[in-house]
Amino acid sequence: MKIVSIEPTPSPHSMKINLNESLPPDETYNYNEKDDLNKAPNYVQQLFSLTGVKNIYRVVDFIALARHPKTSWEELLPQVREVLGTTEEISIQNVTPSVEQDSFGEVRVFIQMFLGIPMQVKLEEDDEEKRFGLPELFTNAVMDASPASTNVIMDRKWVEQHPRYGDMDEIGEEVVEELKASYDEERLRTLVNVAFQTDKTEQSSSYYQSVPIEKLDDPNWKNRYAALDRLDPTIDDLDLLEKALHDEKSSIRRLATAYLGMIEDKKVLPLLYLALEDKAVNVRRTAGDCISDLGFVEATPKMITTLKDKSRLVRWRAAMFLYEVGDESAIAPLEDAADDPEFEVRMQINMALERIRGGKEAQGSVWHQMTQATKKG
């Protein structure tokens, strides 16, 4: 088994490694660094012996390899190549590691839920984990709903949210404040009542509704956020979402941007372009994710200009988009950006150039490709 090629994924911490051997369509393997690997294939054990390998997912003819954020790809990929071998020489630059070695500032966010009621917040960045409690109002609601559960432990679920970027303590406080805004006493009381009802889906889904644009004029940001959090976004909400994009609170702008990504219509693109100019990197990165997920080629010119964003995280997302759907119009701008100071950004740019110059058809998101490969099984 040898490496045929290496492709990026939507995460800076994961790479898709294409192989010259395939598994049967109905076989997949998922290995974690904490697993007992004694019975794992030899190549898996060898890969986990490398510093920085966190997870290996094997399906069909590729491996999705996840790294610890503090381990750079320029250090790890040559070692992966040594373990697996290659069918041809794959260029992996050996350069001085970037000054900013401490990941891309990506923090994974989880909320522990019990019958729809938030219990606590958990953040993960590399090997560090932090938890944040919620006010007594939430604790009381959980206790009131507990008799509705036949197994309180099993009904506690960690629900992953969109990643955030920045300081963990600041993010934790921000998420807690957002939950306090979204789940007021009335909503928590409703959730407790729903917990005891047979048809929970019908009752809980009634929470989401259209939102009058006047709700965003409330002087209290928590009320504005709570109102927007109730939105079930459609194409008819563009005026509301545009107003939200101009809100002084970044949490509201980020939520509005995420909603735009849920509306599969090209009419959302001008508003996503507006979000790409936001002063908060969280909003800009969310906009880049949404544009990539929507996959509209019309966004190519805007994503080309985003290669010059001051945040390496946003530049990386722009390069990823151009790898996924870019055409010949992106070649010159990609060449101009090829000396980006960040390794991960340079790698995405070089992969985009290789695909476009080689005349290979854009196949969209790598995650989409991986999902399709799994479905074939």
**Model confidence at 27: pLDDT above 70:** yes
**Model confidence at 375: pLDDT above 60:** no
Mind listing the pLDDT tens digit for each residue in 221-257?
999 999 999 899 999 999 999 999 999 999 999 999 9
How far is it, in rounded angstroms, from Cα 232 to Cα 240?
12
How far is it, in rounded angstroms, from Cα 121 to Cα 158?
9
Q: pLDDT class for 210, splitting at 50, 70, 90?
A: confident
| pLDDT value at residue 152 | 86
The residue-averaged pLDDT of 206-228 equals 88
Q: CA distances (Å), 190 to each of 200, 223, 325, 338, in order?
A: 11, 18, 45, 54
259's CB contacts (< 8 A; 6+ apart) are 228, 231, 233, 237, 241
Indicate the pTM of the whole model: 0.76
Q: pLDDT class for 178, splitting at 50, 70, 90?
A: very high
Helices (H), the chain: 42-48, 73-84, 136-145, 168-182, 185-195, 200-205, 221-229, 238-245, 250-260, 269-276, 281-294, 300-305, 312-325, 331-336, 343-357, 366-376
173's CB contacts (< 8 A; 6+ apart) are 132
Q: CA distances (Å), 204 to each of 52, 173, 209, 210, in order?
A: 42, 26, 11, 15
| pLDDT value at residue 59 | 86
Mind listing the pLDDT tens digit for each residue in 297-337?
999 999 999 999 998 889 988 998 998 889 999 999 999 99
Mind listing the pLDDT tens digit for each residue in 272-300?
999 999 999 889 989 998 998 898 999 99
| pLDDT value at residue 276 | 96
Between 349 and 363, the higher pLDDT residue = 349
| pLDDT value at residue 359 | 78
What percentage of the chain reaches a pLDDT higher than 90? 50
Cα 15 vs. chain centroid, distance in angstroms? 14
317's CB contacts (< 8 A; 6+ apart) are 285, 288, 289, 292, 306
Reduced to 3 states (helix: H, G, I; strand: E, B; else coil), residue 107 is strand
CB 347 within 8 A of CB 314: no
| pLDDT value at residue 2 | 87
Long-range contacts, stretch 180-186, CB < 8 angstroms, 24+ apart: 180/134, 180/135, 180/222, 181/221, 181/222, 181/223, 181/225, 181/226, 181/229, 182/225, 182/226, 182/229, 183/117, 183/118, 183/138, 184/226, 185/137
Cβ neighbour number for residue 240 with a 10 Å cutoff: 22
213 burial (CB, 10 Å; 0-12 / 13-18 / 19+) is middle
Mind listing the pLDDT tens digit for each residue in 58-117?
888 899 998 887 788 888 888 998 898 886 555 554 433 444 444 456 788 999 999 999
- What average pLDDT is seen over the chain? 85
Q: CA distances (Å), 158 to each of 34, 114, 125, 184, 203, in order?
A: 19, 9, 16, 21, 22
Q: Which amino acid is at 323?
A: Y
Mind listing the pLDDT tens digit for each residue in 141-157?
999 999 999 898 899 99
Token look-up 């941007």 returns 257
| pLDDT value at residue 206 | 57
Q: Which two tokens stand for residue 376?
A: 């074939």
| pLDDT value at residue 362 | 59
CB 348 within 8 A of CB 319: yes
Task: For 286, list phi and psi in degrees, rounded to 5.
Answer: -60, -40
Q: CA distances (Å), 362 to each of 208, 273, 295, in order?
A: 37, 22, 11
Of 77, 72, 114, 56, the closest CA to residue 3 belongs to: 77
| pLDDT value at residue 98 | 42
Domains of the chain (ranges; CATH) run 3-84 (3.30.1370.70), 106-196 (no CATH), 242-376 (1.25.10.10)
Q: pLDDT class for 208, splitting at 50, 70, 90?
A: low
Token look-up 């992966």 returns 80
